[in-house]
Amino acid sequence: MANPIRFHYDFASPYGYMAATKISALAAKHGRSVEWKPILLGVVFKVTGGVPLPSAPLKGDYSRRDMERSARLFNVPFKLPTKFPIAAQSPSRIIYSLESEGPARQEEVTLALYRAYMVDDRDISSPEIAADVATSVGMDRQKVLDLIADPAMKEKLKVETEAAIQRGVFGSPYIVVDGEPFWGFDRLEQVDRWLQSGGW
């Protein structure tokens, strides 16, 4: 059985969102599954000294333009959220709570949460709103609110983010194929080639 593709993403990352809409089809084309790994870039940036794109002088303005241009080019519905970025604990914990249900279910809920934020401008950092979105794809609202507040889920997200940093993750999306790392929505074509050829 071929290794799964490890897909690290922050729910506040537009490029993470765009990649999330494409990664499963790309993996399936090569007989691979996806490991869904939400992380908190805010924690990563404390280690790397990185800054959220909107706060970066000059690069912030460019990145807004590039996000919208990339979304149009690759046919991904996208509207830069009013509140941007956000702290993504609530949606991230929901995804880890679904590990036992498998990657297809994690993908479905990931995309529902991303769409709520990146298309419908809903602030999914709010546990209430994140729970509403999860309910819309079949989760139990009270169970979702409970898991968001569950110390075990808090710890799980913390451990996963720390493990990602240990493996070198510094941005979103950050995709690992058989040990080879690819950073950015704009590396999906290289991921495709790597899966096809085993490297170059």
User: Which residues sit at the interface with a second copy, rule CB under 8 A?
Assistant: 47-51, 56-59, 61-62, 65-66, 69, 72-73, 165, 168-171, 181, 183-184, 186-187, 190, 193, 200
Q: How far is the CB of 27 from a second copy (least distance, A)?
A: 20
Closer of 29 and 69 to a second copy (Cβ): 69
Neighbours of 183 (CB within 10 A): 16
Q: How far is the CB of 118 from a second copy (least distance, A)?
A: 19
Neighbours of 153 (CB within 10 A): 20
Closer of 29 and 193 to a second copy (Cβ): 193
* Dist. CA 28–CA 69, nearest whole Å: 27
* Dist. CA 13–CA 139, nearest whole Å: 24
Closer of 79 and 193 to a second copy (Cβ): 193
Q: How far is the CB of 19 from a second copy (least distance, A)?
A: 14
Burial of 108 (0-12, 13-18, 19+ CB in 10 A): middle
Q: How far is the CB of 91 from a second copy (least distance, A)?
A: 24
CA-based end-to-end distance of the chain? 22
Neighbours of 149 (CB within 10 A): 12
Closer of 71 and 124 to a second copy (Cβ): 71
Closer of 21 and 110 to a second copy (Cβ): 21
Reply yes or no: is the peptide bond before residue 173 cis, omega within 30 of 0: yes
DSSP string, 123-142: -TTSHHHHHHHHHHTT--HH
Q: How far is the CB of 132 from a second copy (least distance, A)?
A: 34
The token duo for 121 is 């401008």
